[in-house]
Structure 1
Amino acid sequence: MPSSRIDRRGFLGAAGVAGLTVAGGGLLTACGDGGATGGGAEASAKLELPTYVPAKVPAPDLPGNAQGLDPAYLRYPKDLVKSVTKAPGDGKPITALTETFTTPAPAMNRNAYWQELNKRLGSEMRMTIVNGLGADSVYREKFNATIAGGDLPDLMWFPPNQGLKNVPDLLRAKFHDLTPYLSGDAVKKYPNLANIPGYAWKTAVINGKIWGYAVPYGRSGQVYVANEDFWKPVGGTEFTSAQDFFDKAKELLDTKRKKYVLEPAYVNHIQQFAYWHGAPNTWRIDDGKLTYFFETDEYLAGIEFALKCQQAQLFWPDPNLATTLEKMEGGFLGLHVQSFPGFLNDSNMYDWPEKVVVPFAAERGMTPSWSYGWGSVGFTAINNNVPKSRIPTLLKVLDYLSAPLGTEERLFLDNGIEGTHHTRSRNGDVALTKKGNAEVLTTRQAINFFGNAPESLYLPNKPDVTRGIHQAQSELMKIAKVDPTIGYFSDTFAQKGASAKDEVYTAIKDIVAGRKPLSSFKKEVLPKWRRTAGDAMRREYEQAIEKGTK
C-alpha cells in the first residue's frame, strides 16, 4: 500500500495513485451574470468554448466518451506517444500557488522528481504549497493574503468550493483574460488542452470570458460504495426497492458484533436515498423556474428514509467515526459514500471487494437519478503582471501538465523516473518504489490541483476491478442529471451558499439523530435557508438563465 494516502475525502483522488489518472468536481465559478456588471449571461451564451479535439493516444481497452465516461486501460498502455516535442519553458522560473491534502512534498533541493520535472519543463517550477488538511479556510486565507499583499505568483489556482468572494471583479483587476488564447480553434496550439472536454471549460468562464485553464477532474459525482462480501448473505447488492434494501440491511445488522450497515454520515446517505426517488442535481428547472434539491419531495423522502434507518440502528452509532475505510475493509460496515475519484483511489490501494451501488427505484414506477459532477477542480489563472508575450509559454507548460494517459509525459508525471521512482512489470504495469511514494505521490498532488489530465481508468494489476468500475460508470450515466445552473454565476451562492447549506445539513443531522422533529425541516429549516440565501440564489440564477437563452 502506498505510504502517502490522501485524507481529505472531498478531494480524494485529486492526484490519484501510481498510474491512476484521476481528478474531481467543483462548485465555485461558472459563466453568467457576475453581479457587478450586466450582460454577463448574454456574453457567456455567445462565447465559443475551446474546441474539443480528443488526444491521439493508444486506444483504450474500454472506450470513453465526451459526456464523461472515462476511457479504461486494463494494462498500462504500450507504444506511448510523445505529446510535447520540446521543453515548453523559457528558462525562467515559474511561480504557482496550489494546495495539497497529503504529506508535504520534500523540498525541491532534495526531491529528485521535482528536479527532473524542472528539467523536462525547461523552467524551474517554484510552488507555494498550502496544506489544507486542517480546514477549508486554510487555502482561502493564504489566497486572500496573497491577493492583499500584491505579490502574486504567475499561476494561481482558484479552488472550486472554498468561499472566495467577488470573483468576477478580482479576475478583471488581477488576471489575464485568456479568451483570445483558448477560445475556439485557438486552443489547438496546445493539443493537450484541446483534449479537455467543454463541460470542464465552463467552470473557467465568467461574464463571457475564459479567465483560466480549467483543471480537469472526473465528471462522475459521489457514489454509493459497498463491501460486496458484507452483502453476500442476502444475495448481494441488487435491490428491488427501498423496502427491499431496508429489509436486507436489518437482516445483516449485528450490534453484538459491532456490525452495522451504514457509515454515520447522514447527509451523504440522504442524497443517495433521494436519488432512489429521482432527486435533481442541485437545481430542477421547469419553465424557467428553479427548485433547489432541498425543496423537493424526493429529498424529504430521503430524510424520512434516513430517519427510519437510524431508528432501526443501521447507522454506526458513533457519528464521529474516523476509521470508515478500515471498518468497511474489515466487514463491520456495508456502505459508505465516496467521491468517484476517491473510490478509484481506494480501489487501487485496498483489496477488499468494493462495488458501486447504482441508484435503483425506491418504489415501482419511480425513475432513479444520479448527479454529474462539474468535471473540473477549479481553474488556474495567470497573473496580469505576467507580460502578455509570456502567456503562450505558461499555457505550453500547462499543456505539458495536462498530457493524458498513453503519453510519455503522463508516465513521468504520474510515476517519476523509471528505476528510481517506479518499476514496470513484464506486462507493462507500473508500481511506485519507496522513493516514488515519498516524492512522486506528495509532489504530484500539489501539481495536479493547478494542472492535470482528464480522468482515465487504470488500476495497476487490477484489470477485473477496472472493468467493473467502467461498467458501473456506464450504468450511472444512463440516469445522470446535469445541474441546470452550471454556466451561470450567482453572487449570493459565492458569498452565502456554502454556509447556508451547512446550516441545513446541521439541522438535518439533528433530525436524523432524533434531537429535532422531522416537521421542523419544512417549518423552520427550509424557510430560514430561503431567507438566508436560497431565494436570492434562485432569483440570480433565473435571471442569468433567462438572459443567456434569449
Structure 2
Amino acid sequence: MTPNAASSSGPSRRSLLTSTAAATAAVAVGSPLLAACGGGGQEGRKEGTTSGKEAAKILPAFVASSVVTPDIPAKNGSAAGFSRAIPTAQLKTSVPKTLGSGGKLKVMSPFWGTPPRGDNPYYTAMNKAVGVDVTWQNQDGVTYDQKLGAVLASSEIPDVVVVPGWNLMGRIPSAINAKFADLGPYLSGDKVKDYPNLAAVPTEAWQRGIFGGQLRGIPMPAPYVTDIAPLYRKDLFAKKGYTVPGSPDDFLAWAKEATDAKSKLWACDDMKWTAFHIFGVLSGADKALWWNLEGDKLVNRIETEQFLEALEWTRKLYAAGVVHPDAVQGKAGGDAGNRFTAGEVLVYNQNISDWWGKTAEQRTQNADFEMEAFDYFGPDGGDPTLWAVQPANIFTFVSKKASEQQVKDFLALCNFCAAPYGTKEFMLTAYGVEGTDYTFEKGLPVKTQQGVNEVNGAYDYTGNPAPYIAYPDLPEITKGMVEWQQRMGAFTRKSSFFGLTVTEPARWSNLADDFEQLEDDVVRGRKKISDVQQAVSDWRSRGGDGLRDWYRKLLDDNGSAD
C-alpha cells in the first residue's frame, strides 16, 4: 500500500474499520500519498443529548477554509477529492504563527502496531512546529477499551485522552462528562476563529462533540455517506463477461452462475452489511442511529421488516453455496480482502478505503488487477434507501484539571493537525520530515521505512480537516471513491438522531448486545428468522419499550440536530 496515501473518508486517515457492535482497527500504511449529551442529572452523570437552541449556543461558528481548493468538491455528504500531489514549493500555509506556548501535554491514544520511541524526528519536528511538548502514551488499540475504562476510573488521568466512538460504552460516557473540560469558553461561536483550521470543521461534526451538555470533544470529521461498499473484481467480471447485478434476485442468480467450488471460486464473501443497505435497514453504526421516527412512532432497526428481509436474503446466499467457506465458518472479516485479491471471491463488502488499499497492494503483483465499488440498488432493483452514519466517530478531550494555558496548547495542537490537504502543516502531520520520513519519487511523496514505522497514528486523532480523499498515486480511484459517495449520498437520509451524541441510561446500554451474533447465526442457517422475532419480543419486554419512551422524550424535548 502507499504509506503516503490517506483519506479521512473513514474513521481516520489510516482507515479504522468498525462493525455494528464492536470494532476492529487496521492501520493502512504502505506506499505513495495520503487520502487520507446533555439532559437531567448531576454533573458527570448526565444522560441524553443536546440539540436545537441549546446546541446553537454551544457550537463553534463555521468558516470554510479557502487555503486550498479540492479537485472534486464535496457533494451530497461526500468527502472532497484531491487527485494530485502538491510539490513542496507550492504548499500553502494555514498556521502562519506558532500558537503553542512551549508547554507540556501528555496524550493517551490508541495505537495499532509497535509505538515509536518518543524522541523520534517526527515527534520532535511536530512539537517544534506546534509549540507544544507532547509526550505520547500510546496504548494497544485492540485492548484500548479496557485501558480507557481503568484510566477514567482512576483519580489521575493524562492531560489529553483520545476516545473512539465504539468505546463509548458502560461508564465511559459519564466519566467523560465528569473528567473532561468544557471547550465552549474557547471555541463557541466566533471564539473558534482564533483557530481557523478548527473553524473549518463542519458543524455537524462539532455537534457530535457535545457531551453532557457541553462542548467537550474535538471531533474527527467523516462523510455521513456510508463507508461500507460492495467491492467487486472488475477485471474478472470483464474476463468472464459478467455485468454487475442490479437487484437482489439478479445478484443471487448471478452468484449461482459464477460459483465454481471445484475451481475454488465463489461469488462472494459474507454480504450482510451490503444486504442492510440494499433493503434500507437503519444504520447499525451507532446506537442512536438504530432509532427513527416513522409517522408518530419511534422504531428501532431490529423491529423493521427491512431488517428481517436483509437477513433472509443473506441466508439465501449462504444456503445456495455461493459464499466462501471461510466466511461460512465465520473467519475474520479482514481475511475477506485476501480471499478477494487471491481471486477466490468476486465480491465482498468492506470500508471503501480498501478500493485504494487493495489496488495499491496488488499493482506490483498483478498488473491486470482491477476492482471497483458497485452502486447499491433497492429491494426491487430501483433506487436504494440509505441511512447516514455519524459525521464524527473519534473524539479527543482535555482534562478538567488542565490549566487554561494547557487547554490553549491543546487547541493549538488540534488546530495544527486539522490543516487541510495541500498545506505545509498537513505534510508534516501526515508524512513527517522530508528526507527522513519520506522522499519524492516521480512527483509523489513516498514514506521511507522510518516514516512507515513512526508517522503512524497519534497526531491523526488530535485534529482533522473536513473529510477528504487524496490518493494521488491512483487519481482514478480518488475520483471513483468520491463520485461513488456522491451518487450514494443522493439516496442517503438522516435518521432522527443523526449528528447527536446520545448517552443512554446505563440500565439499558447493553440491551441489544447479542443481536450481532444472532444475525450471524441466522444468515449461516444456525438460527431462524423466528428466533430473531422472539429476540425482538424479549428485547421489548426487557427494556426496549422503556428505552423507546426515553428516546421519544429526548426527541420531543430537544428535537433533532437538523
What are the superposed Cα offsets for residues 44-71 of structure 1, whole Å, 9 maximum, x if unpaired? Answer: 4543522221212332211124x53211
Checking the alignment, whether the CA contact within 8 Å between 1:12 and 1:342 is kept in structure 2 is: no
Aligned to 2:402: 386
CA distance 1:124–1:45, change in 2 (3 Å)? closer
Checking the alignment, whether the CA contact within 8 Å between 1:57 and 1:80 is kept in structure 2 is: no
Q: Structure 1 CA distance, aligned partners of 2:384 and 2:40?
A: 32
Aligned to 1:116: 125
Checking the alignment, whether the CA contact within 8 Å between 1:490 and 1:540 is kept in structure 2 is: no
Checking the alignment, whether the CA contact within 8 Å between 2:38 and 2:47 is kept in structure 1 is: no
Aligned to 1:217: 222
What are the superposed Cα offsets for residues 104-154 of structure 1, whole Å, 9 maximum, x if unpaired? Answer: 122113x22122222222222111111123xxxx22221222223322211
Aligned to 1:25: none
Checking the alignment, whether the CA contact within 8 Å between 1:204 and 1:378 is kept in structure 2 is: no
CA distance 1:491–1:395, change in 2 (3 Å)? closer
Q: Does 1:87 align with 2:98?
A: yes
The DSSP-based 3-state class of the residue aligned with 2:230 is strand
The DSSP-based 3-state class of the residue aligned with 1:334 is strand
Note the aligned Cα RMSD (angstroms).
Answer: 2.9
The DSSP-based 3-state class of the residue aligned with 1:457 is strand
Q: How far is the alpha carbon of 1:475 from its aligned partner? A: 0.8
Aligned to 2:57: 47
Q: How far is the alpha carbon of 1:486 from its aligned partner? A: 2.9
CA distance 1:549–1:453, change in 2 (3 Å)? closer
Matches within 5 A, 1:53-132: 53-65=63-75, 68-78=77-87, 79-101=90-112, 103-109=113-119, 111-132=120-141
Checking the alignment, whether the CA contact within 8 Å between 2:35 and 2:470 is kept in structure 1 is: yes
What is the aligned counterpart of 1:477 among 489, 498, 505? 489
Aligned to 1:430: 445
Q: How far is the alpha carbon of 1:233 from its aligned partner? A: 5.2
What are the superposed Cα offsets for residues 350-384 of structure 1, whole Å, 9 maximum, x if unpaired? Answer: 434231122112215x5412232212132211111
Matches within 5 A, 1:367-446: 367-426=383-442, 428-441=443-456, 445-446=457-458
Q: How far is the alpha carbon of 1:172 from its aligned partner? A: 4.2
Matches within 5 A, 1:88-237: 88-101=99-112, 103-109=113-119, 111-133=120-142, 138-166=143-171, 169-221=174-226, 222-232=228-238, 235-236=241-242
Q: Does 1:303 align with 2:311?
A: yes
CA distance 1:276–1:217, change in 2 (3 Å)? closer
What is the aligned counterpart of 1:354 among 340, 349, 371? 371
Normalising by the residue count of structure 2, what TM-score does the alignment of the two structures yield?
Answer: 0.85
CA distance 1:350–1:131, change in 2 (3 Å)? farther
Query: Please, which moves more after superposition, 371-380 or 42-51?
Result: 42-51
Q: Structure 2 CA distance, aligned partners of 1:159 and 1:382?
A: 15
CA distance 1:201–1:504, change in 2 (3 Å)? same
CA distance 1:8–1:60, change in 2 (3 Å)? closer
CA distance 1:235–1:275, change in 2 (3 Å)? farther
Q: Structure 1 CA distance, aligned partners of 2:65 and 2:484?
A: 24
The DSSP-based 3-state class of the residue aligned with 2:345 is coil
Aligned to 2:33: 19
The DSSP-based 3-state class of the residue aligned with 1:72 is strand
Q: Structure 1 CA distance, aligned partners of 2:26 and 2:223?
A: 10
Amino acid in structure 2 at the alignment position of 1:436: G
Q: How far is the alpha carbon of 1:156 from its aligned partner? A: 1.3
Q: How many residues are paired up?
A: 525
Q: Structure 1 CA distance, aligned partners of 2:174 and 2:185?
A: 19
Matches within 5 A, 1:323-342: 323-341=335-353
Q: Does 1:312 align with 2:327?
A: no
Checking the alignment, whether the CA contact within 8 Å between 1:270 and 1:303 is kept in structure 2 is: yes
Q: Structure 1 CA distance, aligned partners of 2:96 and 2:209?
A: 27
The DSSP-based 3-state class of the residue aligned with 2:80 is coil
Q: Structure 1 CA distance, aligned partners of 2:342 and 2:505?
A: 40
Aligned to 2:287: none
Q: How far is the alpha carbon of 1:339 from its aligned partner? A: 2.4
Aligned to 2:21: none
Query: Please, which moves more after superposition, 271-280 or 53-62?
Result: 271-280
Amino acid in structure 1 at the alignment position of 2:280: G
Q: Does 1:486 align with 2:498?
A: yes
Q: Which runs of 5+ in 1 are unaligned?
A: 23-29
Q: Structure 2 CA distance, aligned partners of 1:414 and 1:19?
A: 9
Amino acid in structure 2 at the alignment position of 1:409: E
What are the superposed Cα offsets for residues 251-306 of structure 1, whole Å, 9 maximum, x if unpaired? Answer: 11011122112224xxxx23422322333333331245221111111111111111
Q: Does 1:540 align with 2:550?
A: yes
Q: How far is the alpha carbon of 1:474 from its aligned partner? A: 1.1
What are the superposed Cα offsets for residues 428-468 of structure 1, whole Å, 9 maximum, x if unpaired? Answer: 32211222112213xxx132233333332111321112111
Q: Structure 2 CA distance, aligned partners of 1:376 and 1:198?
A: 11
What is the aligned counterpart of 1:293 among 301, 308, 321? 301
Q: How far is the alpha carbon of 1:493 from its aligned partner? A: 6.8
Q: Structure 2 CA distance, aligned partners of 1:32 and 1:233?
A: 58
Q: How far is the alpha carbon of 1:345 from its aligned partner? A: 4.2
Query: Please, which moves more after superposition, 345-354 or 235-244?
Result: 345-354
CA distance 1:48–1:468, change in 2 (3 Å)? same
Checking the alignment, whether the CA contact within 8 Å between 1:283 and 1:292 is kept in structure 2 is: yes
Q: Does 1:529 align with 2:539?
A: yes
The DSSP-based 3-state class of the residue aligned with 1:47 is helix
Q: Structure 2 CA distance, aligned partners of 1:108 and 1:526?
A: 50
Normalising by the residue count of structure 1, what TM-score does the alignment of the two structures yield?
Answer: 0.87
Query: Please, which moves more after superposition, 281-290 or 78-87?
Result: 281-290
